[in-house]
Structure 1
Amino acid sequence: MDLPRSFTIRESSHRIHNPFTSEKLAALGQVLGLAPGTRVLDLASGTGEMLCTWAQAHGVVGTGVDISTEFTARARVRAAELGVADQVVFLHGDASGYVADEPVGLAACIGATWIGNGVSGTIDLLRRSLCPGGMLLIGEPYWRQEPSDQHIVEACHASAKEDFRLLPELIEQFGELGYDVVEMVLADQDSWDRYRAAQWLNVRRWLDRNPDDELAAELRAELSQQPARYARYEREYLGWGVFALMGR
């Protein structure tokens, strides 16, 4: 049970595994007004940057669960670096079935709603760990503009146009599921650039070190094509944001 090796190669230098800068992550923590001692559950927690930095800045406590052995190990190191290892715990496991032992004030899935087979299922999973009056965080892509053909859809890592919604429609979906959107922080093109371009540098450095690896041909082809493809399609068509929800 682990992430594909190609994914960890692309994101080997990333602390945030979404098109979010550290400034946007900090802004999100600030606007939520997190009280010291708030219990947080982060499903698909990656290398733990959200939990670790919010534990340091706001005094939250909590648990992160991620399928990647490498990312989970790095999250534990990050917690020690920031002096919050007594506040946060990182577990290697399948987040798709994880429910907290005790109710939490904030339950999050940032950029991995595949764990619940989409937004609706992920919200239902997170809700099972939430205390009354608690808050959910969902990180999710959306269309910045509607794609005109299937080629654009696939260039944006979707299989069908219906995989994502326009931003107003995504917000309406949360309402249809019984939740108010009470905050949101959105990625912009610069934060997308920082996320994607860092992947290209990670891949190039890995290729220079591992020219004979079994993944080398695949990642060389990806690096040759992906920057222009990103600039032409994904940068223009795909948005991403984190949405704070409270049940009605």
Structure 2
Amino acid sequence: MKREQISAAAHARHPIAGPLEEASVRRLLDRAAPERGRVLGLGCNTGAWLLRALDGRPGLRADGVDLDEGALATGRARAAEAGLGDRVAFHLGDARAFTSSKPYDLVLSVGAAHAFGGLMPTLAAARGHLAPGGAVLAGDGFWEREPGRAALDAGFTADEYAGLPATADRIAAAGWTIVYAYVSTRHEWDDYEWSWTGALAQWGIDHPEDRADAFAAAEEHRRAWLHGYRGTLGFVTFVLRETP
């Protein structure tokens, strides 16, 4: 199975590609999304955040950009099913190279910082698309505690993330004001990881031609989580405005 196929199967039961429940997503969008204007999703995947931002806000229009053609096709289908297809456009391409003739009132990038090389480069990219007075909604990992050998063996490096205080300090030093933030709970993490590994394993059961790959990927991910970064890696989502 290709990486994109594994991701699609793994997120079948958890459409938000990150450790956040629907209520948490709604709370963040209520803090960040304007009633009217333009929204951009950088590394939008299937556009789950964009569609939730548009829902109940008829004055919003959205663009989403991602490299995964299959994810974008799923996003277009979901938008059409929800009656939002005329208010969102999905663009195939590298989010780092995306350009638009008009700025955006909200720029979203949650769980996609790897595409930019980390949270701070993500925020720098978002700033280039932001209209005056606009907001950025960005989510990424942080160290709940100093990572031990087990977490590092799960595929991380010690300097890949910082602790929550240092992360907030870096954001402020880059000229952003944190107007809200939400730290995902242990329950949200566990629900996301069990959904990820379980949905992928279920795919393997139901698709014999992909069973070996699906089982191997699910087991590798489950082991890295349970024996590695569970309780060490946290996830925080910020609502940011540029500091005057």
Whether the aligned pair in 2 keeps the contact of 1:99 and 1:128 (CA below 8 Å) is no
Q: Please, which runs of 5 or more residues in structure 1 have no aligned partner?
A: none
**Which 4+ runs in 1 deviate beyond 6 A?**
none
Question: Which residue of 210, 234, 242 corresponds with 2:237?
Answer: 242
* Offset at residue 229 of structure 1 (A): 4.3
* Deviating more after overlay: 200-209 vs 223-232: 223-232
Whether the aligned pair in 2 keeps the contact of 1:99 and 1:126 (CA below 8 Å) is no
Whether the aligned pair in 1 keeps the contact of 2:137 and 2:240 (CA below 8 Å) is yes
Whether the aligned pair in 1 keeps the contact of 2:144 and 2:231 (CA below 8 Å) is yes
* Offset at residue 38 of structure 1 (A): 2.3
* Offset at residue 100 of structure 1 (A): 2.5
Matched residue SS, 2:56: helix
* Offset at residue 39 of structure 1 (A): 0.9
Matched residue SS, 2:231: helix
Q: 2: distance between equivalents of 1:13 and 1:70?
A: 17
* Per-residue CA distance 1:39-82 (angstroms, 9 max, x = gap): 11111111111111221123322111111112111111221222
Q: 1: distance between equivalents of 2:182 and 2:81?
A: 26
Matched residue SS, 1:163: coil
Q: 1: distance between equivalents of 2:99 and 2:169?
A: 26
Q: 1: distance between equivalents of 2:176 and 2:31?
A: 18
Matched residue SS, 1:73: helix
Whether the aligned pair in 2 keeps the contact of 1:63 and 1:90 (CA below 8 Å) is yes
Match of 1:152 in 2: 151
Q: 1: distance between equivalents of 2:128 and 2:205?
A: 46
Q: Please, which runs of 5 or more residues in structure 2 have no aligned partner?
A: none
CA RMSD of aligned residues (A): 2.0
Identity of aligned residues (%): 25
Q: 2: distance between equivalents of 1:172 and 1:119?
A: 13
Q: 1: distance between equivalents of 2:113 and 2:39?
A: 17
* Per-residue CA distance 1:16-38 (angstroms, 9 max, x = gap): 11111111111111123x33222
Match of 1:114 in 2: 114
Whether the aligned pair in 2 keeps the contact of 1:56 and 1:83 (CA below 8 Å) is no
* Per-residue CA distance 1:172-198 (angstroms, 9 max, x = gap): 110121111111122111111221111
Q: Are positions 1:185 and 2:182 aligned together?
A: yes
Q: 1: distance between equivalents of 2:26 and 2:110?
A: 14
Match of 2:225 in 1: 230
* Per-residue CA distance 1:137-185 (angstroms, 9 max, x = gap): 2111001111133x32232x41x11001111111011012111111112
Matched residue SS, 2:99: coil
Match of 1:217 in 2: 212
* Offset at residue 202 of structure 1 (A): 1.7
TM-score, normalised via structure 1 length:
0.89
Q: How many residues align?
A: 241
Match of 1:173 in 2: 170
Q: 2: distance between equivalents of 1:90 and 1:244?
A: 23
Aligned pairs (5 A) from 1:76-115: 76-115=76-115
Whether the aligned pair in 2 keeps the contact of 1:53 and 1:82 (CA below 8 Å) is no
Q: 1: distance between equivalents of 2:172 and 2:153?
A: 28
Amino acid in the other structure paired with 2:18:
N
Amino acid in the other structure paired with 1:44:
G
Match of 1:42 in 2: 41
Q: 2: distance between equivalents of 1:114 and 1:209?
A: 31
Whether the aligned pair in 2 keeps the contact of 1:3 and 1:67 (CA below 8 Å) is no
Q: 2: distance between equivalents of 1:236 and 1:113?
A: 21
Q: 2: distance between equivalents of 1:225 and 1:43?
A: 28
TM-score, normalised via structure 2 length:
0.90
Q: 2: distance between equivalents of 1:169 and 1:229?
A: 25
